[in-house]
Amino acid sequence: DSAWLRLGSGELRAALKLVVEVHGYQIFFCPCFNADPHPGNLIALPDGRVGLIDFGQCAEMDAATRRGLARLLAHLAEPESREADEEVVGAMLALGVRTEKSDRQYLAFLARLVFCRVKAEWLQHEHI
């Protein structure tokens, strides 16, 4: 959409921050949320507002799952350490996530890969 191209970098950053906050609000406080957020489902409106479209893939979470996801994200926000990884693994297991070999180190890595910024060293052969 050409309206995105007219936004300055500060405006674009603010718009994207708002989109992330709205999506988080949907996940944790609304009965259902858009389970398919991607740039194609955003519209920059001429007046500077952001439009969210295509709610064709919505999902619901029960309260226990929401609490579990919140717990996982809180532990992922902690600096990486063995203790933090154990908390991440505990949160993943509580959410029902399992691996074929029950590898706790891989489970912590998987959580960071899915929910955190990808680090270049993660793409090295021994991690893949």
**How sure is the predictor about 124, in pLDDT bands with cuts at 50, 70 and 90?**
confident
Q: What is the pLDDT of residue 123?
A: 72
Residue type, 123: L
Mean pLDDT taken over the chain? 87
Q: What is the pLDDT of residue 2?
A: 64
Return the HEC string of the chain.
CHHHHCCCHHHHHHHHHHHHHHHHHHHHHCCCEECCCCHHHEEECCCCCEEECCCCCEECCCHHHHHHHHHHHHHHCCCCCHHHHHHHHHHHHHCCCCCCCCCHHHHHHHHHHHHCCCCHHHHCHHHC
pLDDT in tens, 41-89: 888 888 878 888 898 899 999 999 999 999 999 999 999 999 999 999 9
- Rg over CA atoms, the chain: 18
Res. 5: pLDDT tops 70? no
